[in-house]
Amino acid sequence: MASALWQGNWRTRARIISGLVLFTYVLLHYLNIGLGLFSLELMERASDWRRVVSRSMVGTVCYMALCLPIWDWPCIGLPAAARFGCR
């Protein structure tokens, strides 16, 4: 039995995946800020590890891919949708 989370077309799945990746990025960012409450040295070390991931080629491609589902937003019934060629 497939999970209800993954039902739908490829656009729905792309939005779910991009949302989960963005959620993970924000969660790690806030955890890093939280480490600063205990020790600035801990926060700096965690920030260095975060930069290794986010500024690598894989991380850059992953973050750029998050923009793909956003390109479909004008087609969801906004008044300006006709200007973007949406039906």
- At residue 6 the predicted structure's pLDDT band, cuts being 50, 70 and 90, is confident
Is residue 70 helix, strand or coil? helix
Domain extents in the chain: 10-66
Q: Which residues contact 66 (CB under 8 A, 6 or more apart)?
A: 18, 21, 22
pLDDT at 41: 92
Does the pLDDT of residue 8 top 70, yes or no?
yes
Residues found in the chain: 87
pLDDT at 75: 55
Q: How far is CA 73 from the centre of its chain?
A: 15
What does the pLDDT look like over 11-65, one tens digit per residue?
Answer: 777 778 878 888 888 888 899 899 999 999 999 998 888 888 778 888 777 777 7
